[in-house]
Amino acid sequence: MDSAAMYPPPSAPPASMFNNVPGYEGLVAGGGKCSVSAGGFLPPPMPLEPVAPPQPGPVPDNWCIPSLTEDVARQAFKAYADSHCCYGSSPAENGLITSMEPFNTFRYRLETFTESRSTEWATRPYKGEQPDFYTQTAPRPWEVQANPPSLFTNHKQEIQVPFTSSIKDCHSCHGTGEKPCEECHGNGYKPCWVCNGSGAKNEENCHHCNGTGRDRCRNCDSRGSENCATCEGKRQLLTFIQLKVEWTNNIEDHVVEQNSGLDVSDLQSVSGKELFKNNQYLLYPLLGFPNQAIAEASDRLIKEHQSKYAQTSRILQQRQMVELIPITKVNYKWKDNSHVYYVYGNEHKISANYPDTCCCVIL
Q: How does pLDDT run across 246-299, given as a tens digit for each residue? A: 999 999 999 998 888 999 899 999 999 999 899 999 999 988 788 899 999 999
Using alpha carbons, select from 60, 55, 92 the residue that is nearest to residue 280: 55
Give the model's pLDDT for residue 361.
43
Mean pLDDT of 47-62: 59
286-338 pLDDT tens trace: 887 888 999 999 999 999 999 999 888 999 999 999 999 999 999 999 999 99
Grouping H, G, I as helix, E, B as strand and the rest as coil, residue 182 is coil
Mean pLDDT of 16-22: 80
> Is-contact 24 36, C-beta < 8 A?
no
d(CA 289, CA 50): 28
> In angstroms, how far is CA 288 from the centroid of its own chain?
36
Using alpha carbons, select from 246, 267, 236, 310 the residue that is nearest to residue 108: 267
Q: Is the pLDDT of residue 29 over 90?
A: no
Rg (CA), the chain: 33
d(CA 96, CA 92): 9
Confidence of residue 360 (pLDDT cuts 50, 70, 90): low
User: How many angstroms separate the first and last alpha carbons of the chain?
Assistant: 62
Q: Mean pLDDT lowest for which of 28-32, 164-168, 178-182? A: 28-32
d(CA 252, CA 320): 10
C-alpha torsion 350→354→356→362, nearest 10: 70
Give the model's pLDDT for residue 159.
97
More confident residue, 154 or 292: 154
Give the model's pLDDT for residue 197.
85
Give the model's pLDDT for residue 24.
83
